[in-house]
Amino acid sequence: MNLTPASFAYRRSYNLGGGYSAEFVLNGASLSVRWSPDLPRGKTAKRLRASYRAARDRFLASTGIRMMVVEL
């Protein structure tokens, strides 16, 4: 069995509705999001924004680490 550092990452998936889900991955100091089936765009992205933010906030709270989110 090949164990890579990524296999030790903390991760959780959230259903966002409309057939979309997001997997949040915290690997050391790096946070990434993997979308399924793909990154939403346009009106779909706008519709999912509140669900995405709620899922992100739940994920971050579940780590027990104090942090601040800056959206650009």
Mean pLDDT per 10-residue segment, the chain (72 residues):
62 97 92 96 97 97 90 87
Give the C-alpha separation, 24 to 61, whole Å.
12
Q: In what order do the strands lie in the sheet with 30-36?
A: 10-17, 20-27, 30-36
What's the pTM?
0.83
Burial 11-28 (b: 16+ CB within 10 A, else e): eeebebeeebbbebbbee
Residue 35 burial (CB < 10 Å; 0-12/13-18/19+)? middle
Helix (H, G, I), strand (E, B) or coil at 23: strand
